[in-house]
Structure 1
Amino acid sequence: MGLLHLENLTNIMKFTEILFVILTLSLGTYAGGDIPLQVTGRVGETVTLTPRLNLTHPIDTVTWMYHINGKRTILAEFREQKFIRVNKNYFINRLEGSNSGTSLQIRELRMEDSGVFTAQINVNEEIRDISYNLTVYESLPLPTPVINKTLDENSTDLCHLHCSVPSNSTSVSYSWIYRDKDTDILYANGSTISVSLKDKTLGTQFICLVQNPAHTNNVSVLLYPCDETQTKANQRYYFALLIITILGILIFVVGTLYCFRRRIKKCIKTPKENVTYSDFKEFPKRIMNQGNAPMNGHCNMACNRKSEEAEYAHLSVNIEINVKV
């Protein structure tokens, strides 16, 4: 496992691509332009096809052609110091010439633009063909890192780090960079790696580097014990479940109290009983003895008491009858 700084790694990749282009260009020159130069572009961006020529005479004409189903289709021509688009069925409003027609710029690249382009250059009645093999790649989104705990019971401290991007291209490559303080170290190549927690401190930063020939993207992830990561996720789940349960209980209690109050109000609002009261008869006045013979006081009081009790009983019966009615 080699140790490389991330910047040095990127520079080496770029140097390798440049070296490949130079070697291809040299081979193409010596082979008469039979080997196309490899050019990469990214969807939505602009690419320029520019040959490296050492000319001692001015250019007479340049014809740009696009290979379709094994046949060359003329796209544009440069003659009399003018860039003229000949075919309006392909690359509509996306082609532009420069450098006396030897450079072709293609704007707003699409995946279907991939193919072989040939510049047929006429200099002093000598024709030279230079071809380019353009490959257009899609832009890579940010990769998604996932940390999974291993199922190996003998290595409970081992975690698997997986990185992926949604892409249909087979030219996507993955690398994992381990950041130690201020140094970036290449840990391993591939979308999935295994990391032992015994060898790494908590909070160690790993960087997933995903790239295709036209684009590079990366994302970082902090490494913690896998079971701790799962515990935090479970804690969030149980906390959310507790909140939902409490809200449900509160709603139930409030609804019950509301219904209970409505029932009480209904019971209070009952119609009053219609009570009919009968006229009270006036108690008879005590009869005073106006004769000459004196009356027995004890008898007089007893008779009056009996009369009053009879009247009271009569009134009570009348009231009960009226209330029942």
Structure 2
Amino acid sequence: MMKHLPECFLVLSIFPSLLLTGGEYVPVILNGLINQSIPMSLSGGPSDPVHRVIWNFKTNPLVTYTNNQLIFINEKFKGRLEILDDGRVLKIGHLRLEDSGLYIGMITFTNSTNYVKVYNLTVYEPVPTPSIVAKERKNRPDWCNVTLRCSVPTNKSSSSYTWKYRHGGSDFQLYNNSGDTIQISLQPESWDMEVLCIIHNPADFKNVSLHKFCPDYSVKAKSTGGELDLTCWIKLYIYLPILTILSLSLPLLCLLNKRKPE
């Protein structure tokens, strides 16, 4: 509980009368995505009619709503705020990175009771679309060693990596690695493996998969057989005319030999 004391003191410094009111002072963690929207609800309090709603962002007034009207709004948020559900929900649109921080909302009901709720919002950029690059490949007919790297156009420090794998049509299973690179060693019976790289942050994720990244030596064997067949055809085209000439000249030699005078 001690780790929440700073947030509680901040709430009380903004709304001193809260010592006698109800609410949730431990911040609710929210993760938002840049240019998207996110709602913050003051649900959980009484269902009495709402008289006034006040929201603060960090230590600055954000918006005041009373009698179904906005009577104050922070200049930085103009055109991006909506008050919904009779003041019980604040919706922030077109999120920006600088919108990250502590939001404190207080409802005052018509019976003069108050209810408070605190949110801690972090806004993230979308993660980039990844690709899988195979490198440092060492292959043998009975073994495949390969290093796979999940590559992204830009390096986002807030992004994390998760790898999964599967064989055939089975479900993906978690691969025990959380970095952008994995090393795989496979025997031929596992060369149908498909790997999945997921790049993510708390608000967004994207993934890419790679299938059959080890060579199929059976295909190479067929290809080699084709080359041998082609060589045979070349030899046939060379020797066939010679054999034809010999076969035609043999009767002629026999005929000449018969006509030779004794």
Distance 1:34 1:64 in 2: 14
- Secondary structure at the aligned position of 2:176 is classed as strand
Question: Aligned to 1:163, which of 147, 150, 155?
Answer: 150
Which of 77, 90, 114 pairs up with 1:127? 114
1:46 corresponds to? 37
Partner of 2:16: none
Q: Work out the CA distance in 2 between the residues paired with 1:192 and 1:199.
A: 22
1:98 equivalenced with 2:87 (yes/no): no
Work out the CA distance in 1 between the residues paired with 2:137 and 2:125. 33
* CA distance, structure 2, for counterparts of residue 49 and residue 199 of structure 1: 54
- State the secondary structure of the residue aligned to 2:98: helix
- Equivalent residue for 2:50, pick from 51, 56, 59: 59
Superimposed CA distance per residue, residues 112-144 of structure 1 (whole angstroms, 9 cap, x where no aligned partner): 111111101112222222111111111112112
Aligned with 1:36: secondary structure? strand
Counterpart in the other structure of 2:134:
147
Query: What displacement does 1:111 show?
Result: 1.2
SS at 1:139 equivalent? coil
Once the two structures are superposed, the pairs formed by residues 95-244 of structure 1 within 5 Å of their partners are 95-123=81-109, 124-149=111-136, 157-165=144-152, 166-170=154-158, 172-183=159-170, 184-190=172-178, 191-198=180-187, 201-225=190-214
Deviation at 1:54, TM superposition (A): 4.1
1:9 alignment counterpart: none
Number of the residue aligned with 2:65: 78
Contact kept in structure 1, 2:45 and 2:115, CA below 8 Å:
no
Displacement after TM superposition at 1:202 (Å) = 3.4
Residue 203 to residue 38, structure 1, CA distance change in 2 (3 Å): same
Return the alpha-carbon distance in structure 1 between the equivalents of residues 26 and 37 of structure 2: 23
Residue 61 of structure 2 aligns to which amino acid in structure 1? I
> What are the ranges of 5 or more consecutive residues in structure 1 without an aligned counterpart?
1-30, 229-325
CA 1:217–1:64 in structure 2 vs 1: closer, same or farther (change >3 Å)?
A: same
Distance 1:167 1:104, change over 3 A: farther
- Greater shift, 198-207 or 210-219, is seen at 198-207
Q: Is the 8 A contact 2:167 2:190 kept in 1?
A: no
Q: Secondary structure at the match of 1:195?
A: strand
More strand by share: 2
Note closer, same or farther for the CA distance 1:55–1:201 as it changes in structure 2 (3 Å cut).
same
- What secondary structure sits across from 1:141 in the alignment? coil
8 Å Cα contact 2:31-2:203 kept in structure 1: yes
CA distance in structure 2 between the partners assigned to 1:188 and 1:160 by the alignment:
15
Give me the TM-score of the superposition, normalised by structure 2: 0.65
CA distance in 2, matches of 1:126, 1:54: 10
What's the offset of the Cα at 1:46? 0.8
Deviations 1:234-265 (A, max 9, x none): xxxxxxxxxxxxxxxxxxxxxxxxxxxxxxxx
Contact 1:36 1:131 in 2 (8 A): yes
Q: Distance in 1 between matches of 2:42 and 2:167?
A: 43
CA offsets, 1:12-61, max 9 Å, x none? xxxxxxxxxxxxxxxxxxx9432111011111111111132241421111
Deviations 1:194-229 (A, max 9, x none): 111316543532111111111121001124337x9x
Structural mapping, 1:14-53, within 5 Å: 32-53=23-44
Contact 1:206 / 1:223 at 8 angstroms: preserved in 2?
A: no
Residue 219 to residue 98, structure 1, CA distance change in 2 (3 Å): same
**How many residue pairs align between the two structures?**
191
Q: SS at 1:112's partner residue?
A: helix
Residue identity over aligned pairs, in percent, reads 31
TM-score, normalization by structure 1: 0.53
Alignment map for 1:260-271 (pairs within 5 Å):
none
Distance 2:163 2:52 in 1: 50
Higher relative contact order (CA 8 A, sep 6+): 2
2:34·2:124 contact (CA, 8 Å) conserved in 1? yes
